[in-house]
Structure 1
Amino acid sequence: MPSNSKPFIEKINRIPSVSNILEVACDITGMGFAAIARVTRDSWVACVTKDIIGFGLQAGGTLDIETTICNEIMDHHQTVTIDHVDKDPVYRDHHTPKLYGLQSYISVPIILKSGAFFGTLCAIDRVPHQVSSPKVIKTFTLFAELIAFHLDAQEQLAESSKILKKEKRESEIREEFIAILGHDLRNPVNAISNAVQLQLRSELDERNMRLAAIIRDASNRTKGLIENILDFASGRLGGGIKLNLENQLTLEESIAQIIAELQVAWPDIEFVTNISLSAPLRADYKRLSQLLSNILGNAIMHGEKEKPIEVKVNQVNGITELIISNSGNPIPVQILPHLFKPFSRGKVKTGQEGLGLGLYISKEIAKAHGGDIRVESTIEKTSFIVTLS
């Protein structure tokens, strides 16, 4: 048996109905031997057989390809039927029936979805049988198509499994890369931040105090940029934004904390909150705080400084809405379709430059919660509406 035939024998024997196919093939024709064969230019190998007449060929058994009719079927892809060799004008002098002592024969090609020729479903006997009837030919053709279907399905399953394993490994590598990247970026920035905090607590003259404050603000901004880069990498390269539903603070406390932090940086900005929850919200409040911080930062940069920024939370029919509204010029129509795309920014004032990832990450956080973000922008106000299911 050719060494490369073993996988094909295993594939055929994995087909659940293969033994029933051969049994029915023998029953419907009355013939004593049936087989599914793998046929190539170089070999004829029996993948599975049913031998009642003692033909002597078992699974793995081979025939010289040149001595078979399957050799011809491989070229023309047509069914061959012989009811009675001695009376058949085409095959009565053919070498195959003479060599193997056959009087009746049927062989149907097994053609895969790709159009490739796999082999044949065949039956033989040493006595004549009526095998050229439409009923027999249709049955054998149906069986051949069923075998081809199972072979294609196995091939697709194997390919899918191979792809999944590759994607899993690539995903693991990406996750490792993101983790290493986060560690290597955060460590030096944290060291700078900790050092400058110590400096700010010491006695410094006015000039050094101002320089230390600049370093502190720059390191805080760099931390934010690193977090955005890592979240972007997780969303695009890894498995998406990760959620932790074990919260240390309530949603109200989380929102209050973010607003308090922003008011330290922008003491002149007024925030108005209205939180109404009829049921606890199952969510990652730290991630929602990040989302809120990104959108509020956007509102601070682009809104009217003299008018308050509103933060409203309500629940209707099991859907939670987080609405952040600010007064100011409406968002230009041409910018709206690109607002939540990564690296997308409108006009940015000096000192407010960023990577353009904040709104993209906010949308990814909402999607991770089974929700979304939309924006409504008019002359009166601009509202970012976050829905969470």
Structure 2
Amino acid sequence: MTTETQTTASKLDRLTPSRRYALTVVACVVTTLLATPLLGYLDLANIVMLFLLTVLVVAVQLGRNAAILASVLSVLCFDVFFVPPRFSLAVSNIQYLVTFAVMLVTALTTTHFTSILRQKAREAEHREQRTQALYQLARQLAGALSIEQVGELVHTFMQAQANAHSVILLPAEGGKTLATPAPAEAHFVESHLAQVAFHSGKLVRSDEVSGLGLASLYLPLNATMRLRGVLAVGFPTNSDEPSDATLSLLEALASLIAVALERLHYAEVAKTTELNMLTERLRSSILSALSHDLRTPLTAMVGLADSLSLIKPPLPPAALETSQALHEQAASLAGLVGNLLDMARLNAGEVTLRREWQPLEEVVGASIKLLGNALAGHRIKVDLDRQLPLLEFDAVLIERVLCNLLENAAKYAPPQTDIELSASRQGDAVEITVADHGPGFPAQQHDELFNMFVRGHPESGKPGTGLGLAICKAIVEAHQGSIRAENRSTGGAAVSFTLPVGEPPVIEEEHL
């Protein structure tokens, strides 16, 4: 349909019924005047065709009721002005009654089908306009940068296409319920109906609440991954019930909104992830740089402190005590710098695992021996399953894990208490546990303990920076294992980590 045709049709649609009937009468009169001079040249059957053509034109341009009037007027005009005796309703031949009846039925049938086609054309034009509007909205939503912008676009669309008001309701934190609407929109939403639509994932409709100024339609915003919210729609109080076409439009709109909200969600997730990656990379770079710059002077300090105890003649006792304290503090600081450097390397993925098949008890014994004086005030109880298989791991790194866990246990457990180290097979993995009888971990903080610079008891006077467990986690996960912390029911803390069993090589016996 061209623009000119649409303009003409819209003008005719705005005509009042009285003007339509007046135009119908004029059309019938004009047809009668045009056909009268042709009476001597055309048969009556051909003149009937002129009146049927008039009925068809009226039906197309002025509608069903006007066409019915045109049908009746055409039969009357044909009878009065063309059928003998003329200018009278009397009929000289009974066969003309059949002509009148066929003419009237034909006119009414033509009116009926023409009106149906006209209505279908209007509906098609209306659907085309709504489809075009949906297409334009989809393009705008694809470029929306915020949820507020999506709401504004949807509000404008609903006002233009359905003369309705709409509100987008989003899930509250946790995703179990809908968030409370803004105060300006709270009076428009019936919370119970919105919650029903959100939990059921189906359209909820209640015409009773529309008279109270509340939204009567609640459409769930079903996206690919999950439900993104609910679209509340309210119509004016004096408006008709929404048609099936309007409901179809709203369902299509809800799908577009859900896709837009899901796109914004994942865009925010990607942005946050990228920011976290950049932050972690920057932090690792700073830690690596500081560790490298501090390691050399700290090594020199440890060496100089050791050399003070070897001076001949020996230093006075007070000076020797000071040199020993200097040595311990420098060594502690050197260990801290080593932890920082190790953490930076692990986060950067620069550590290559040197995996070898070996028994776990050798690494356990080496770790206990390496700590030496750090475990002097505690009893170490080792309980290793005798049926433990060979494991493939980096002995140096796993030794570092055990040293960190044993040192932490010795640091926080009361003196002269037991520290228990056990290992047993659990399915396809071997679980190693280090447990103590200390105060345990703070409640609700077990997962956070494995983050960098997080300490179980920040206010504690015990030295430390919160890197030990973070290093343990990085090393264990590099071995495709897992690590967890928990409080024991009998008191104290326990940290357990797993190493995969794998398929150890077959050792063939030597035949003598």
TM-score normalised by L of structure 2? 0.39
Q: Deviations over 1:257-296 (max 9, x none)?
A: 3222333134221111123463221111211122112211
Q: Are residues 1:275 and 2:381 paired?
A: no
Answering whether residue 500 of structure 2 is matched by residue 382 of structure 1, we say no
Which of 307, 317, 341 aligns to 1:198? It is 307
Confirm or deny that 1:340 pairs with 2:450: yes
Residue in structure 1 matching 2:396, options 273, 286, 291? 286
Contact 2:405-2:469 at 8 Å conserved across structures: yes
2: CA distance, partners of 1:329 / 1:173: 35
Counting helix residues as a fraction of each chain, which structure ranks higher?
2
CA distance in 2, matches of 1:171, 1:270: 39
Contact 2:414 2:437 in 1 (8 A): yes
What is the Cα deviation at residue 173 of structure 1? 9.9
- Cα distance in 1, alignment partners of residues 317 and 358 from structure 2: 38
Given the alignment of the two structures, is residue 299 of structure 1 paired with residue 299 of structure 2, yes or no? no
SS in 2 for 1:292: helix
User: Are 1:357 and 2:467 an aligned pair?
Assistant: yes
| Cα distance in structure 2, aligned partners of 1:171 and 1:333 | 27
Residues 235-250 of structure 1: pairs in structure 2 closer than 5 A: 235=346, 238-240=347-349, 242-245=351-354
Asked if 2 retains the 8 angstrom alpha-carbon contact of 1:263 and 1:269, the reply is no
Q: 3-state SS of the aligned residue for 1:385?
A: strand
Measured after TM superposition, the shift of residue 385 of structure 1 is: 0.9
Which residue in 2 is equivalent to 1:185?
A: 294
SS in 2 for 1:374: strand
Distance change (3 Å), C-alpha of 1:351 and 1:214: farther
Per-residue deviation, 1:222: 0.8
Counterpart-to-counterpart distance in 2, 1:325 and 1:196? 35
- Greater RCO between the two (CA within 8 Å, min separation 6)? 1
Q: What secondary structure sits across from 2:388 in the alignment?
A: coil
CA contact (8 A) 2:355 2:392 kept: no
Q: 1:221 aligns with which of 321, 332, 345?
A: 332
Aligned partners of 2:287 and 2:341 also within 8 Å? yes
SS of the aligned residue for 2:383 comes to: strand
Q: 1:204 to 1:303 in 2, by over 3 A?
A: same
Number of the residue aligned with 2:436: 326
Query: Does the Cα contact within 8 Å between 2:292 and 2:341 map onto a contact in 1?
Result: no
Give 1:262's aligned residue: 371
1:313–1:323 CA contact under 8 A, matched in 2: yes
Q: Verify the 8 A CA contact 2:356 2:394 in the aligned structure 1.
A: yes
Relative to structure 1, is the Cα distance of residues 360 and 312 closer, same or farther in structure 2, using a 3 angstrom cutoff? same
CA distance in 2, matches of 1:171, 1:268: 38
1:183 shift after superposition:
3.0
Among 307, 312, 325, which residue is 2:422 paired with? 312
Question: 1:233 is matched with which residue?
Answer: 344
CA contact (8 A) 2:449 2:455 kept: yes
For 1:108-119, list aligned pairs within 5 A.
Answer: none
How far apart, in 2, do the equivalents of 1:373 and 1:319 lie? 12
Q: State the alpha-carbon separation in 2 of the partners of residues 344 and 261 from structure 1.
A: 25
Q: 3-state DSSP class of the match of 1:343?
A: coil
- Measure the CA separation in 1 of the matches of 2:290 and 2:363: 28
Structure 2 CA distance for partners of 1:172 and 1:213, relative to 1, 3 Å: same
Deviation at 1:325, TM superposition (A): 0.9
Deviations 1:218-275 (A, max 9, x none): 122112211222233234xx43372432579964333223222333134221111123
SS in 1 for 2:450: coil
Q: Secondary structure at the match of 1:184?
A: helix
**Distance in 1, Cα, partners of 2:422 & 2:344:** 30
Distance in 2, matches of 1:179 and 1:259, equals: 29
**Partner residue, 1:84:** none
Give the secondary-structure state (helix, strand or coil) at the position aligned to 2:421.
strand
Q: Does the 8 Å CA contact 2:413/2:436 hold for their aligned counterparts?
A: yes
Shift of 1:306: 2.6
User: What SS does the corresponding residue of 1:245 show, helix, strand or coil?
Assistant: coil
Structure 2: runs of 5 or more not aligned: 1-138, 144-278, 501-512
CA distance in 2, matches of 1:173, 1:360: 17
Change (3 A) 1:172 1:228: closer
**What is the alpha-carbon distance in structure 1 between the residues aligned to residue 448 and residue 479 of structure 2?**
22
Q: Larger Cα Rg: Structure 1 or Structure 2?
A: 2
Q: Judging changes above 3 Å, is the alpha-carbon distance between structure 1 residues 255 and 220 closer, same or farther for their aligned structure 2 residues?
A: farther
Aligned amino acid, residue 434 of structure 2: I
CA 1:183 to 1:339, structure 2 compared with 1: closer, same or farther past 3 Å? closer
Question: Partners in 2 of 1:249 and 1:210 — Cα distance?
Answer: 43
Q: Which one has the bigger strand percentage?
A: 1
CA deviation string 1:48-72 (max 9, x = no partner): xxxxxxxxxxxxxxxxxxxxxxxxx
User: Relative to 1, partners in 2 of residues 1:177 and 1:333: Cα closer, same or farther, differing over 3 Å?
Assistant: closer
Matched residue SS, 2:298: helix
Distance in 2 between the 1:320 and 1:348 partners? 32
Q: Kindly report which structure 2 residues correspond to 1:130-141, keeping only aligned pairs within 5 A, or say none.
A: none
Partners of 2:429 and 2:498 within 8 A in 1: yes
- For 1:370, the equivalent position in structure 2 comes to 480
Distance change in 2, residues 1:246/1:369 (3 Å): closer
Contact 2:437/2:491, CA 8 A, preserved across alignment: yes
Instruction: After the TM superposition, list the runs of 4 or more consecutive aligned residues in structure 1 that deviate by more than 6 angstroms.
Output: 170-178, 247-250
Whether 2:253 is the aligned partner of 1:253: answer: no
Segment drifting more, 379-388 vs 318-327: 379-388
Amino acid at match of 1:224: G
User: How many residues get paired?
Assistant: 236
Match of 1:63 in 2: none
